Structure 1
Amino acid sequence: MTKLPTLTAYLNAMRKLLAFILQIPPIDPSTHLRTTFLLRLTGDVMTSVPGYPPQMKEFQMLLDFLDDLDQAWSAVLKSQVWDPAAGEGVDVIVPVDEIIPGNLPMRSSPVSQTERTRLHSLLVTGTAGLEEWMTGLNTSEEDYQMALQRAGLLQGFDDLFSATLSEMGT
């Protein structure tokens, strides 16, 4: 359904979108916007990737992107700002001399239970969809798990979204 001809092109486009979304600060009223956009991107990725033919040469790039998405969700769940240089979330620190008495305090609303439930559902169903998709990999009569093991990628796929799921307590 996408106009991007290869999984590599698709992931490159999604990486730019992810970087843009992560620039949204985790400070109200923007907090909900960042979560909403990241949920949308996650849903799109998890449903679009299986639309491409599975090719071993693209799996490392896919794994790297999904790891970035996992780190992004971990930061969002912790209400952290994104440090693009480090590729991780960092706590918001407001110097005392920048706090103006009488102004409304800065707030960061946590991810709602509804959004957490939606995220959990996207990750579980999306991961199952990716596993089913990988069974279509042409691997010379060995199953896709053996091919991933041989390529050194199996552990990465087994650990998909481990930081996010851990942060959510599941």
Structure 2
Amino acid sequence: MLSVISQIPPVDPSASLRTTLLLRLTGDVLQSIPGYTPATETLPLLLAWLNDLDQAWLAVLRGQAWDPEECRGIDVELPPGAHCTPMSQTERTRLRSLLISGSSSLEEWLEGLDTTGEGSVEITLQRLGLEQAFNDLFSATLAEMGSLGSVEVNDPNGMVGTC
């Protein structure tokens, strides 16, 4: 689904469809993941998919087309007369909320990870080489929206002037 939605052209009237569907997919996925038991063997696949989702959002925010081979956005020249309407402030706020609350839910979900013999989730993630990947969830998208850096993540003022 992510690949299909991401390949919707970034020009009007399709650009708003891509944004709407990607918001829906993001919300549904981030709400659904905690319904499953975390398993060390599937965490790398989950992180890879969440990274692709992060890259898809970067493409949308930048008005880029999606390269399904590279799983990233690419700059394209718009046809004459074509227009790409950027995401609205409401859509950006909804996305930011989905990513922050979803990341928080995933942190809580990871507490259910079997850490027998290792003592903590952090040690298990370090052993698997996944700790940094979980720490960086959606960091590219949030940074693009102006939600990271010197501004606190939960400060809505960090989004002013980013549309």
The unaligned stretches of length 5 or more in structure 1 are 1-16, 100-104
Query: Residue 47 of structure 1: SS of its match in structure 2?
Result: helix
Amino acid at match of 2:35: G
Deviations 1:44-92 (CA, angstroms, capped at 9, x unpaired): 1100000001111110000000000000000000000001122210112
Q: Is 1:150 aligned to 2:127, yes or no?
A: yes
The CA deviation at 1:121 is 0.3
Pick from 104, 107, 122 the counterpart of residue 98 of structure 2. 122
- Which residue is equivalent to 2:17? 33
Count of aligned residue pairs for this structure pair: 146
What TM-score does the superposition give when structure 1 sets the normalisation length? Answer: 0.83
Pick from 9, 29, 34 the counterpart of residue 45 of structure 1. 29
Pick from 110, 124, 136 the counterpart of residue 159 of structure 1. 136
- Pairwise CA RMSD: 1.0
The CA deviation at 1:23 is 1.5
| CA–CA separation in structure 2 for the residues paired with 1:75 and 1:124 | 19
- Which residue is equivalent to 1:11? none
Where does structure 1 differ by over 3 angstroms across 4 or more consecutive aligned residues? none
Higher helix share: 1
Deviations 1:81-118 (CA, angstroms, capped at 9, x unpaired): 00112221011214xxx64xxxxx10000011000000
- Which residue is equivalent to 1:8? none
- Which residue is equivalent to 1:89? 73
Moved more, 107-116 or 82-91: 82-91
| CA–CA separation in structure 2 for the residues paired with 1:72 and 1:23 | 9
Q: Please tell me whether Structure 1 or Structure 2 has the larger radius of gyration of its CA atoms.
A: 1
Query: Residue 41 of structure 2: SS of its match in structure 1?
Result: helix
Alignment of 1:46-65 (within 5 A): 46-65=30-49
| CA–CA separation in structure 2 for the residues paired with 1:151 and 1:84 | 27
Percent identity for Structure 1 against Structure 2? 56
The unaligned stretches of length 5 or more in structure 2 are 148-163
